[in-house]
Amino acid sequence: MKKLIKPAVPGAVIPDIERGRDLPPEGLVLDWTPHWALLERRGDIVAEDVPNEGVQASGMAASTAAPTGDAATAPTFEGAPLRPRR
């Protein structure tokens, strides 16, 4: 489950132990872990539910635009058809 996690108090320094940096004041969309649940219970952070679609750990929405140029014609493993095993 992902949530938008922000410091509860403006200017507070909240360590993001998974990424090795401080949580930015505007917050990040992150996986909800016991670490964040503890900080929420202590009142150090506020957390808001976010929709599951198009959310990445970086806090930015996933791009829905089709690739252009070389990326549009380059073969990719994800889109390759699978051959049946013999």
Per run of 10 residues, the mean pLDDT along the chain (length 86 residues) is 94 91 94 94 95 56 50 48 58
Q: Which two tokens stand for residue 72?
A: 């549009």
The whole-angstrom separation of Cα 6 and Cα 27 is 4
Q: How many CA atoms lie within 13 A of 48 on its CB side?
A: 11
Question: In the beta sheet, which residues pair with residue 55?
Answer: 61
Predicted model pTM: 0.57
